[in-house]
Amino acid sequence: MKTIKGPALFLAQFAGDEAPFNSWDSITKWAADCGYKGVQVPSWDGRLIDLAQAAASKDYCDELAGVARENGVEITELSTHLQGQLVAVHPAYDEGFDGFAAPEVRGNPKARQAWAVDQVKQALTASRNLGINAHATFSGALAWPYLYPWPQRPAGLIETAFDELAARWKPILDHADEMGVDVCYEIHPGEDLHDGVTFEMFLERVNNHPRANMLYDPSHYVLQCLDYIDNLDIYKDRIKMFHVKDAEFNPTGRQGVYSGYQPWVDRAGRFRSLGDGQVDFGAIFSKFAAMDFDGWAVVEWECCLKHPEDGAREGAQFVKDHIIRVTEKAFDDFADGGSDEAANRRMLGIGD
């Protein structure tokens, strides 16, 4: 068994234009002051990282990591959630997601997709330069508008969508393999990979690619009414990353999973700060301890009620309190009477 590493913090929700959130030096000092030992870095945020330089220069990566270490944290992973989203975009979402891309490719879906693929590949190369072996991203989505089967879906529609999704990601996964980095898809509504079944559909089409793996975030499963504990047992060999995020689902006579287009604060399913929701983190951390997970517990703050800085500080302590330092011996070793093969055979009555 292995002791999970942490706590770490995903910086995407905290980076901003005001100190201490506006530079790599100051935000890493702040994270360490909150009690974190690691930070997960949004690769699209130029205030924190120059992705092109990170992909091109190991010296730059050494300097970036060195600043973090001097401030008390290490880089746990890079993220391309926004760029990964753009690897596959249904036309219905063209305008909605266009802002994720560089200005020069906006309004041009083909150029935007090529840019997104290059961005993810750069981040994988940068991960290698940083000595990191796992990378966080989204899969993007072509079939999401057809999630609910009304109107009736034409035969082959979903299969064609997943064939295309796999074709777009296969070269990226091959590059990841060359870099020695796992691609960890956050299983998330809005992505074609939004539950276990869809992940398996994708995995089959990329020939069970060894670099196609999962980012486990139980909050998204609570909001789907999916068994997030059983999910760990099913996919433990593919789960390579962990977002520690809480959520609650409180259906009423007026709304359920779909929540009637309401804003986050009024939805039946809401993200909450750690400890304020319904996720059984005691069970989750026990599962991770037993499954030899060799990664980080990364807090992702997305509460619709609590101030982010309070959520961050409380989250660091919450994770510390839940990390299980695994044992190196059995609790009943004191009663070990010793044995050998001959004794075992005698105890079973099978003699010599």
SS3 readout for 139-175? CCECCHHHCCCCCCCCCCHHHHHHHHHHHHHHHHHHH
Q: Token pair for residue 267?
A: 């939805």
pLDDT band for 340, please (50, 70, 90 cuts): confident
- What mean pLDDT, rounded, does the chain reach? 96
C-alpha to C-alpha distance for 318 and 273, rounded to whole angstroms: 10
In single-letter form, the type of residue at position 114 comes to A
H and E: helices and strands count for the chain: 13, 10
Position 330 pLDDT exceeds 80: no
pLDDT band for 338, please (50, 70, 90 cuts): confident
Q: How confident is the model over 125-152, as pLDDT tens digits?
A: 999 999 999 999 999 999 999 999 999 9
Give the whole-number percent of the chain exceeding pLDDT 70. 98
Q: Token pair for residue 4?
A: 């999970």
Nearest to 212 by CA among 242, 246, 239, 252: 239
C-alpha to C-alpha distance for 210 and 287, rounded to whole angstroms: 22
Question: 3-state DSSP call for residue 129?
Answer: helix
Supply the pLDDT for residue 89.
Answer: 98
Q: How confident is the model over 50-89, as pLDDT tens digits?
A: 999 999 999 999 999 999 999 999 999 999 999 999 999 9
C-alpha to C-alpha distance for 203 and 214, rounded to whole angstroms: 11
Mean pLDDT, rounded, for 102-117: 98
Q: Is the pTM of this model over 0.75?
A: yes
Distance of CA 304 to the CA centre of its chain: 20
Q: How confident is the model over 13-34, as pLDDT tens digits?
A: 999 999 999 999 999 999 999 9
Domains of the chain: 5-347 (3.20.20.150)
Supply the pLDDT for residue 285.
Answer: 98
Residue 88 to residues 56, 97, 200, 351, Cα–Cα distance (Å): 26, 11, 18, 66
Mean pLDDT, rounded, for 268-273: 98
DSSP annotation of 107 reads: T
